[in-house]
Amino acid sequence: MTSDNSVGTVSLQYMTVAEPPDELVLDSGEKLGPVTLAYETYGTLNKDRGNAILICHALSGDAHAAGFYKGEKKGGWWDIMIGPGRAFDTSKYFVICSNVIGGCKGSTGPASVNPKTGKPYNLSFPMVTIADMVKAQRLLLERLGIDELLCVSGGSMGGMLTLQWVAMYPEMVRSAIPIATALKHTPQQIAFNEVARQAIMADPDWRNGDYYEHGQPRRGLAVARMIGHITYMSDASMEEKFSRRLKDKNYSFSFNTDFEVEGYLKYRGESFVRRFDANSFLYITKAIDYFDLSEGRLFPKGTPADTRFLLIAFKSDWLYPAYQSQDIVKQLKRRRLDATYCEIYSTYGHDAFLLEQKEQTHLIKHFLHKTYRGK
């Protein structure tokens, strides 16, 4: 065990979920194959296979939700929420997290080698949607022998995958916990994604997506990430963290870094370049922008509708404001579903779903316990 209540040492696994001639038929009409998903699991699947929980990651997340790789210090992106005794209690539940298709963390994406050409797909990689990502995840669960999920959960884009799971496979999903998310992207949310994409595509090093031999479009990708970072925080959390503190004693009267917040953004931009593929960023943001389960598409008429819901939003989240979670609740209530809505006070902004351990743990633990016992 790397620390108390951690799932301890974990390792990334791979599963080929579609192999030619069985290709994955995408929303665009194109076909993709072979399709490999990178995934991790924590805890043990019960004999009755009724304790499986699927965790879905956000834009820049990956399959490494919990625990530690050998020698790794930081741990998975939701380690505070997954482990023995934690919100997603791995002493009771079997937790799975998989990297989405289009991603760059082990699943098939634009940086993968196209077996037909022997070269990376680059922009010949087909456009994928949130629904396509879910279709691939379902194939993974099939191969793992899981045909029912006690719960699907995730924040931000992970929340969209959660909603898409319910929309497409309601009979498989006993409960869902979408966090800090929305039924569809608003024009403001699309705009932030589009500007980030434009920043990448404006970088000559992007080379129309064909850059793998030369290295990332570093500058454009860093700018894209900096834009994102501002939207993940809040006015209040930035004030708490940086205020107007200077890096040096006085203004530089130059275009060097004056304020701590500037240095922080540059650091986050640069470190993102080292860990995330620019083309994947383009594909995944586009999938998010296309996502739209409004106007009754969450539960199309005639689908069984008995999934239980817990919805969580955060007061200072201005990227996915609470009213968007409330809109989800309205849709659910119209279908007379069992839905609990909680708005957590936090100054962390959108990042709160990654940081607010205590309140989320309390809500999720209780909700899962009730759902599991109700079986």
Q: Which residues bind its own copies (CB under 8 A)?
A: 27-28, 30, 123, 126-127, 184-188, 190-192, 194-195, 197-199, 201-204, 219-220, 222-223, 226-227, 229-230, 233-235, 238-239, 241-244, 251, 253-255, 258-262, 265-266, 269, 282, 286, 289-290, 292, 318, 321
317 part of the active site = yes
350 part of the active site = yes
CB of 71 to its own copies, least distance (A): 33
DSSP 126: P
CB of 188 to its own copies, least distance (A): 5
CB-side neighbour CA atoms (13 Å) of 271 = 8
CA angle 12, 19, 154 (to 5 degrees): 45
From 289, 346, 350, 351, active-site residue: 350
Q: What is the largest CA-CA distance in the chain?
A: 67
Q: Which is nearer to its own copies, 69 or 318 (CB)?
A: 318
CB of 259 to its own copies, least distance (A): 5
Residue 222 identity:
A
Q: Which is nearer to its own copies, 45 or 238 (CB)?
A: 238
Q: Which is nearer to its own copies, 289 or 356 (CB)?
A: 289
Q: DSSP characters for 231-297?
A: HHS-HHHHHHHTTT-BSSSS--SSSS--BHHHHHHHHHHHHHHHHS-HHHHHHHHHHHHH-B-TTTT
Cα radius of gyration (the chain): 20
CB of 112 to its own copies, least distance (A): 18
CA torsion sign, 288 to 238 to 344 to 42?
Answer: positive
Q: Which is nearer to its own copies, 286 or 350 (CB)?
A: 286
Q: Which of 241, 26, 35, 252 is nearest to 128 (CA)?
A: 26
From 317, 325, 346, 351, active-site residue: 317
235 part of the active site = no
CB of 5 to its own copies, least distance (A): 34
Are 347 and 234 in contact by the 8 Å Cβ rule? The answer is yes
Q: Which is nearer to its own copies, 189 or 360 (CB)?
A: 189
CB of 92 to its own copies, least distance (A): 40
Q: Which three-class secondary structure state does DSSP give residue 113? A: strand
Q: Which is nearer to its own copies, 253 or 374 (CB)?
A: 253
Please tell me the distance from the alpha carbon of residue 25 to that of residue 266, in angstroms, as a whole number.
Answer: 40
Query: In this structure, what token pair is assigned to residue 375?
Result: 């079986």
From 107, 156, 175, 280, active-site residue: 156
Q: So which residues are the catalytic ones?
A: 156, 317, 350
